[in-house]
Amino acid sequence: MKVDQIAVFLENKSGRLAAITKALSDNNINIRALSVADTADFGILRLIVDDTEKATRVLKEEGFTVGKGVVIAVEVADRPGGLSRVLAVLHEAEINVEYMYAFVEKSGENAVLIFRFDDPDMAITILLNAGIKILTGEEVRSI
């Protein structure tokens, strides 16, 4: 139910993001989802890739600070209200969302919401009980 995510520290200077994506593509690693959190002073890149171990190794060799963590991927129909229903369920159960990002599947029918929770196990239980579809790591990687 949990999906591996890697996070990379980005200094606030141009070309860093490009250096990461180049290192990954040079090593035939595919990016499935990506988001950048930006502040005035630094950025954090979050990535879901098809080979987490290899990506971690490659980026460390390139001198980046890399952290690993788990996120939860939720699949909803790509139409109005898809996201708000999920958020309502979480809010109801007082589950705190650290951050989230989303992308639309190739077919265009579904959207995938990536959530980072303090307590992922509790969140999984709540979401499943509400009948919300959670994707496995395998499923996300093969999108």
Partner 1 sequence: MIWNEEFETLPREQLEILQIKRLKDLVERVYYRVKPYREKMDAAGIKPEHIKSLADLQKLPFTTKDFLRDNYPFGLFTLPLDQVVRVHASSGTTGKPTVVGYTKRDIETWAEVMARALACGSVQRGDVVHNAYGYGLFTGGLGAHYGAERLGATVIPISGGQTKRQIMIMQDFGSTVLLSTPSYALNIAETMADMGVDASRLSLRVGIFGAEPWSENMREEVEKKLGLKAIDIYGLSEIIGPGVSMECIEAQHGMHIFEDHFMPEIIDPDTGEVLPMGEKGELVFTTLTKQAFPLIRYRTKDITRLIAEPCVCGRTFVRMEKITGRTDDMLIIRGVNVFPTQVEHVLMGIEGVEPHYLIIVNREGSMDTMEVQVEVSEQLFSDEVKNLEKLSKRIQTEIKDLIGSTCKITLVEPKTIQRSEGKAKRVIDNRNI
Interface residues toward partner 1, by CB under 8 A: 5, 7, 9-11, 16, 37, 39, 41-42, 44, 46, 63-67, 69, 98-99, 116
Q: Residue 59 or 74: which CB sits closer to partner 1?
A: 59
List all residues 6 or more positions away from 89 whose beta carbon is below 8 Å from its beta carbon.
126, 127, 130, 132
CA distance 91 to 58: 38
User: In angstroms, what is the minimal distance from the CB of 26 to partner 1?
Assistant: 19
User: In angstroms, what is the minimal distance from the CB of 68 to partner 1?
Assistant: 9
User: In angstroms, what is the minimal distance from the CB of 81 to partner 1?
Assistant: 28
Give the β-pairing of 133-135 and 97-104: unpaired
Name which of 128, 49, 32, 119 is nearest 89 in CA terms: 128
Q: Residue 69 or 82: which CB sits closer to partner 1?
A: 69
Q: Residue 38 or 105: which CB sits closer to partner 1?
A: 38
Say if CB 5 and CB 71 are below 8 A apart.
yes
CA distance 28 to 25: 5
Q: Residue 40 or 79: which CB sits closer to partner 1?
A: 40
